[in-house]
Amino acid sequence: MNTNGRDELLACLDAIQRTHPEGVAYEVLVLDNASEDGSADAVRAAGHDLRLIALDRRTGKAANDTRLLREARGRYCLLLNEDAELMDGCARALLAALEGEPSAAAAGAQLLTSDGRPTACAWRLPDVTWALAAAVFLQDLAVQSRGNDVRQVGWAQSSALLVRRAAAEQIGWFDPAFFVYSDETDFCKRLRDAGWAILYVPQGRAIHHDQLSTDTAAMRRRIVEFHRGRDLYFRRHRMPFARLAWRVCWTWAYLVRAAAAAVLPGHDPRRYLLHARQQAFPGRGEGIREAAEAYNRRRDAEERAVTAG
C-alpha cells in the first residue's frame, strides 16, 4: 500500500522481483491511496507484472490492507508498506515459518533501519504490566523481536507481515475503525483470541526506511493518530484498567522525557510534550484521518467545479 511514496514504492517493487523465492507462484497487488506525487503513473511506466488499484479518494490503512487481502488469490499474503524493502531470503523465511507452524496466522520480519540496524518490530500485547514498566522507563521489556530463533509474540508490525489469508478471513480482516496505528495490534489480538499464533521471524529481514519529517504539522498529525489508535484498541477490547494505567503511566514518562530534553543539548522537548498531551487526551486534535478527509473534500470540490464549468 502506498501514499505519496513513489521512490520508495519503486524500490519496494524492485526488491520483490529481486528476492522472490524460486518455485513459488505469486502475484503483486499495489494499492495507491490517491497519491499526488505521480506514484500510480510511475508504477504503470515501470513495466512490472502487477495489478494496480488506484484510488481517487484516501482511505485508512486498515481498510486498504483489508481490500488487498480480499482481492489476493494466494494462500499467504505478504503485506508491505511502500517504504519496506525485502532483503534476500526474507519471503522464503516467512513462508517457511507459516508452513512449518499450521497454528500460526501471521509472521513478521525483522525490520532494519535505513542504515541496516535492527529495530524493534514485535511486542507483547499492550496491558497494565507494559504501562507500569513504562512508568519506570523499562518499556523495552515489552519488545519481543529478540534472539535468533522463530518465536511467538503478541503482535508484529505490518510493514512486512506475511498473513495466512484464511485466518484473516475467519476473524473479519482488519478493523476499518483504525485509520492507521494499532490496526495491526488489534488484528493480531483478534487472531490470538481466535486461537492463532503470531510469529517473529529473525531470518526474514526487510529494510523499513526511516521517514523522519521536519514538518511540524505532519508530526503532530501522526502523534494524534498514534494515541487515538491505542486508546481505541483498549476501548475495542474492553480494557478499562489498562486504558487508565496507560494514560497515567505513559503521560508521566513523556513529561519526564520532555523535562530531560529541555536541559540536554541537541534535544527538542516539543515532541515529548505533544506525546504527553495526546496520551492524556487522546480524543483531541486532528490526525491523519482528518488530513485525508480534507484531501477528499478538496477533490470533491474540484470535481464539482469542473462539472459546473
Domains and CATH numbers, the chain: 6-208 (3.90.550.10), 216-292 (no CATH)
Per DSSP, the three-state class of 23 is coil
- Model's pTM, two decimal places? 0.95
| Burial (CB count within 10 angstroms: exposed 0-12, middle 13-18, buried 19+), residue 216 | exposed
Strands (E), the chain: 29-32, 51-54, 76-80, 84-86, 104-112, 122-123, 151-152, 155-156, 160-164, 197-208
pLDDT at 217: 83
The dihedrals phi and psi of 134, each to the nearest 5 degrees, come to -65, -35
- Please tell me the distance from the alpha carbon of residue 250 to that of residue 131, in angstroms, as a whole number: 7
Do residues 15 and 80 make contact, with C-beta atoms less than 8 angstroms apart?
no
Residue appearing with cell numbers 494505567:
245
Do residues 276 and 254 make contact, with C-beta atoms less than 8 angstroms apart?
yes
Which among 199, 198, 105, 104 is positioned nearest to 150, based on CA atoms? 199
The dihedrals phi and psi of 85, each to the nearest 5 degrees, come to -130, 110
Separation of CA 304 from chain center: 34
Q: Residues in the chain, how many? A: 309
Residues of the chain scoring pLDDT < 70? 211-215
- Please tell me the distance from the alpha carbon of residue 233 to that of residue 126, in angstroms, as a whole number: 9
Q: Which residues contact 183 (CB under 8 A, 6 or more apart)?
A: 60, 61, 62, 65, 158, 174, 175, 229
pLDDT at 81: 95
240-289-257 Cα angle (round to 5): 60
Q: Are strands 29-32 and 51-54 parallel, antiparallel or unpaired?
A: parallel
Region for 181 from its dihedrals, namely left if φ exceeds 0, alpha if ψ lies in -120 to 50, beta otherwise: left
- Please tell me the distance from the alpha carbon of residue 68 to that of residue 52, in angstroms, as a whole number: 11
Q: Are strands 104-112 and 197-208 parallel, antiparallel or unpaired?
A: parallel
Do residues 133 and 139 make contact, with C-beta atoms less than 8 angstroms apart?
yes
Helix locations, 20-159, DSSP H = 39-46, 61-71, 90-100, 128-135
Residue appearing with cell numbers 488489534:
186
